[in-house]
């Protein structure tokens, strides 16, 4: 059945569906193949782990066995509560109680949804200075630290996150900072900083691929009143020193750039150290952003503090500087939650990597995939359940 015939077949099934909920939404289309919410009787046309879209079903009266009620994005705006397969794959789900399941032919190109029917993007390896892939597929996470200075490290959470990255086959990870909560100076503080970063790196080793770390305030002093100096903080500052030791394979400065070449163009990654901000870094950042404007198909920017944070006067200035340029996605952390920035569909906060939640309701991580249509597709997961908590896509720039 070709694509046009498949859509006509689905439309016929939708028109014939006679079973509905009290609010008019059809209930018997769960896991029917779709391309738009309009084909799902008022339910979301969501994307599952296969990269294709299927109809949801109202949670009214409970979900069938093997399905749970969660909030998902369809093709329309907003998150909608819908039944979703626990194994995250409609194509392998048995849909009970009159559901319509239409298997999809994965042998060739589909409907322009941007997903590769051939499977996970490949390429690499991506080393400390970048590399080459056919299409991008990388992980994002941020803010993995104890709740108090020197208290228990959230090892189980970060281990679960990197296990998730490994199971999904990401090519590399970009994190958004704060890998420790360590206080004091002297030998004990040095040992504490190295131990906490060691916990994080042990989790990263589960993936066994390059992790590009962003500097957070806890890799400086943790204070809002002072910044770290790339020239003066190494040695006297235990947290900064331990962080830069871990960064040694990638950069001798806390800010850096790496490039990944894809089949359809250059992807530039710019990692900012806003807690080590100075005139030298400002000049460097302006140069890198200007160069990316001219030469990159994709520009990804990571820094620790999100839009609106004024813990230090420069933080918002840096954010506004980036916004004067083109970018594909802007990753930040610091706030211990997941959210998309209001008014900027390309900016997101992902600070739910194990630090005590503040406004968020799940620990989790994200994946970023370059579709065959060259759009960028983001999925955000709850690390405990594997459920998709949000998904969206943007164009290259």
* Domain stops at, among 92, 120, 152: 92
Q: Could you tell me if residue 254 is inside a domain?
A: yes
Q: Could you tell me if residue 105 is inside a domain?
A: no
Same domain, 225 and 78: no
The CATH number of whichever domain residue 182 belongs to comes to 3.60.21.10
Same domain, 321 and 221: yes
Q: Could you tell me if residue 122 is inside a domain?
A: no
Per-residue pLDDT for 350 more than 60? yes
Q: Could you tell me if residue 57 is inside a domain?
A: yes
What is the pLDDT at residue 124?
A: 78
Same domain, 59 and 139: no
Same domain, 265 and 158: yes
Closest CA relative to residue 213, chosen from 298, 128, 277: 128
Look up the domain containing 48 and give its range.
3-92
What is the pLDDT at residue 42?
A: 82
Torsion region of 186: left, alpha or beta (phi above 0 gives left; psi -120 to 50 gives alpha): left
* Domain stops at, among 44, 71, 92: 92
Q: Could you tell me if residue 19 is inside a domain?
A: yes
**Please, where are the H alpha helices in 114-237?**
155-168, 187-207
Same domain, 262 and 343: yes
C-alpha distances in Å from residue 23, one per residue of 27, 60, 104, 219: 11, 10, 29, 51
| Domain total of the chain | 2
Q: Could you tell me if residue 162 is inside a domain?
A: yes
Instruction: Assess contact for 179 and 144: CB atoms under 8 A.
Output: yes
C-alpha distances in Å from residue 294, one per residue of 271, 288, 298: 18, 10, 11
Per-residue pLDDT for 122 more than 60? yes
What is the pLDDT at residue 363?
A: 98
Q: Could you tell me if residue 166 is inside a domain?
A: yes
Q: Return the SS3 of 266.
A: strand
Instruction: Assess contact for 352 and 364: CB atoms under 8 A.
Output: yes
pTM score, two decimals? 0.72
Of the candidate ranges 44-48, 256-260, 392-396, the one whose mean pLDDT is the lowest: 44-48
For residue 279, how many C-alpha atoms fall within 13 Å in the half-sphere facing its CB? 0
| Average pLDDT value for the chain | 84
Same domain, 241 and 340: yes
What is the pLDDT at residue 259?
A: 98
Same domain, 212 and 161: yes
Same domain, 253 and 311: yes
Same domain, 30 and 150: no
Per-residue pLDDT for 178 more than 50? yes
Of the candidate ranges 180-184, 267-271, 280-284, 295-299, the one whose mean pLDDT is the lowest: 180-184
Same domain, 246 and 358: yes
Average pLDDT over residues 126-154: 95
């Amino acid at each position: 059945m070709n694509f046009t015939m498949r859509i006509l077949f689905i439309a016929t099934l939708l028109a014939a569906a006679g079973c509905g909920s009290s609010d008019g939404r059809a209930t018997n289309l769960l896991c029917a193949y779709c391309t738009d919410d309009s084909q799902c009787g008022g339910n979301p046309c969501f994307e599952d782990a296969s990269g294709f879209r299927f109809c949801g079903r109202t949670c009214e009266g409970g979900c069938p066995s093997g399905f749970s009620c969660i909030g998902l994005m369809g093709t329309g705006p907003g998150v909608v509560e819908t039944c979703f397969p626990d194994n995250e794959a409609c194509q392998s789900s048995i849909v009970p109680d009159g559901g319509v399941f239409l298997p999809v032919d994965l042998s060739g190109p589909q409907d322009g949804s941007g997903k590769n029917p051939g499977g996970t993007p490949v390429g690499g390896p991506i080393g400390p200075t970048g590399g080459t892939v056919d299409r991008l597929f990388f992980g994002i996470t941020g803010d993995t630290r104890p709740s108090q200075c020197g208290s228990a490290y959230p090892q189980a959470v970060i281990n679960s996150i990197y296990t998730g990255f490994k199971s999904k086959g990401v090519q590399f990870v970009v994190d958004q900072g704060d890998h420790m909560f360590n206080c004091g100076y002297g030998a004990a503080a040095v040992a504490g900083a190295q131990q906490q970063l060691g916990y994080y790196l042990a989790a990263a080793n589960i993936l066994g691929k390059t992790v590009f770390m962003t500097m957070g305030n806890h890799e400086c002093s943790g204070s809002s009143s002072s910044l770290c100096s790339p020239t003066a903080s190494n040695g006297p500052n235990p947290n900064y020193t331990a962080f830069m030791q871990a960064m040694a394979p990638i950069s001798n400065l806390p800010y850096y750039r790496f490039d990944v070449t894809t089949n359809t163009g250059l992807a530039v990654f710019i990692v900012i150290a806003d807690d080590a901000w100075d005139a030298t870094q400002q000049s460097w950042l302006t140069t890198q952003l200007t160069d990316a404007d001219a030469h990159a198909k994709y520009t990804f920017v990571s820094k620790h503090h999100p839009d609106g944070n004024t813990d230090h006067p420069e933080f918002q200035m840096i954010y506004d500087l980036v916004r004067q340029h083109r970018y594909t996605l802007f990753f930040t952390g610091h706030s211990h939650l997941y959210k998309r920035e209001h008014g900027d569909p390309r900016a997101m906060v992902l600070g739910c990597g194990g630090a005590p939640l503040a406004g968020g309701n799940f620990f989790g991580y994200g994946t970023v995939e370059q579709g065959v249509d060259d759009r960028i597709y983001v999925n955000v997961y709850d690390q405990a359940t594997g459920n998709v908590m949000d998904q969206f896509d943007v164009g290259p720039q």
